[in-house]
Amino acid sequence: MKKNIEILEKLPEIKERITQEIGKVIVGQDKIIEQMLIALISNGHCLLEGVPGLAKTLMISTMAKVLSMDFSRIQFTPDLMPSDITGTDILAEDKADGKRYFEYIKGPIFANIILADEINRTPPKTQAALLQAMQEYQVTAGNKTFDLDRPFLVLATQNPIEQEGTYPLPEAQLDRFMFYLNIDYPSYDEEKRIVKNDAFASLNSVTPVICADEIIQIQNAVKQIPVSEHVLEFAVKLARTTRAQYDEAPDYIKKWVSWGAGPRASQYLIYAARSRSALQGRLTPSIDDVINVAQNILQHRIIISFAAEAEGITPQKIINKIISDLS
C-alpha cells in the first residue's frame, strides 16, 4: 500500500512532464491528451473522430515516443484482412535437416500503442479481429493463443465526413471503446502557432518520460484507489438513467432514448474517475471526476429515438440533462 501511494504521489509530476513533451509537437488539445492518459492508466481504449488535418496520427505517435512504448500504425482499407493485423502462419524450412514447418509471423497488433487509422474503412470481419484483441488481450492463430504485450492501448480514428464506402462500427463493438473523443478545430491563436511550428522537426526533440514497466505499476496502483459509496452510487445511477427500459426511467428518457449504456459504462465511469483523480494528485475520486468523463464514456453508448432526432436532441444533451437532474 505504501508503495502504491508513493507511485500515485509522483503521478501529477509525470503527467506534467508528459504534457510538456507532447506540447513540443502538438499545439492545444490538452483535454484530448488528458483523456488519452486517463484511458491508458485505466486499461481502456479510445475512438477518436475528427476531420482530416487535425494531427490525430501525429498526436498518437508523439505520445508513444514520450511514453517510450512500442508503436504500430495500421491503415485500415477495404481490402485489409484479419491476418494483416494479427499475423499469419508461413511455410518455413529448417536449414539443418530440410524439413518444412509452419512459423507464425506476428502482425502489427503486437505493440503497446496501436493506431487503427480510419477503422470504419475496413469490413466488419477485419474490425472484429482488432476488437477481439482489445477485449481479451490475446490473439488466436490456428490452435495457438498468443498474449499481447502490456500495456496495450488501441487508439482508433474515424473520419466524420466521406461516409461513402465505410463500415460504421456496430453498437456492440463501439462499447469496447472506453472513450469516444471528438477532436475539434484549433482556436485562431492555436492555428497561428501550428503554422509557425515545424511539427516534424519538433518530434526529434521529444524525449521519453516514462517506460512500459512504470505504466504497469501506475495501472496497478490506480486499481487500488478507494471509491466512496456516494461516488459509486452517482456513477451507477448516471449509467442506469440512460436506459429507457426501466420503469423508473424519467419520461424524457423513455421518449428520447431507444437503448442506453450497459454495466460496462458504470465500470468505466469509476475506472476513469479514479485515473483522473490520481493524475490531479488526489487519492480518491469525487463526483466531479465522474461528471468530467461522463460525456466521453456515455455518448457512443446511447442510441437516440426517432423522436429525439426530430427534435434535434443529441446524446450529449441527454447526458447533460441527466447530470443536472442527479446533481
Among 199, 208, 214, CA closest to 64: 208
CA dihedral for 108, 111, 117, 121, sign (positive or negative): positive
264 CB-side CA count, 13 A: 18
Lowest mean pLDDT among 38-47, 172-181, 294-303: 172-181
Closest Cα to residue 231, out of 270, 179, 280, 178?
270
Domain 225-326 top-level CATH class: mainly alpha
The count of C-alpha atoms lying within 13 angstroms of the C-alpha of 10, restricted to the half-sphere facing its C-beta, is 13
Cell 498468443, located at residue: 146
Residues 156 and 120: beta-carbon distance below 8 Å: no
- In our burial notation (b when 16+ CB lie closer than 10 A, e otherwise), range 205-224 reads ebeebbebeebeebbebbee
Categorize the per-residue pLDDT at 238 as very low, low, confident or very high, splitting at 50, 70 and 90. very high
Supply φ then ψ for residue 188, to 5 degrees. -60, -50
Q: What is the mean pLDDT of residues 131-160?
A: 83
Average pLDDT over residues 45-59: 81
pLDDT given for residue 286 in this prediction: 93
Residue 88 CB burial class (10 angstroms; 0-12, 13-18, ≥19): middle
Q: What is the pTM of this model?
A: 0.88
The least confident of 97-101, 299-303, 310-314 is 97-101
pLDDT in tens, 213-233: 889 999 998 988 999 999 999
- Is the pLDDT confidence value at 207 over 80? yes
Fold exhibited by the domain 2-218: Rossmann fold (3.40.50)
What average pLDDT score do residues 146-171 get? 78
**306 or 125, which is more confident:** 306
Residue 165 has pLDDT above 60, yes or no: no
- Nearest CA-CA partner of 257 in 243, 246, 239: 243
- SS3 letters across 43-92: CCCEEEECCCCCCHHHHHHHHHHHCCCCEEEEECCCCCCHHHHHEEEEEE
Stretch(es) of the chain classified as CATH 3.40.50.300: 2-218
Residue 63, φ and ψ in degrees, nearest 5? -60, -40
Q: Which residues are CB-neighbours of 173 under 8 A, at least 6 positions away?
A: 127, 128, 131
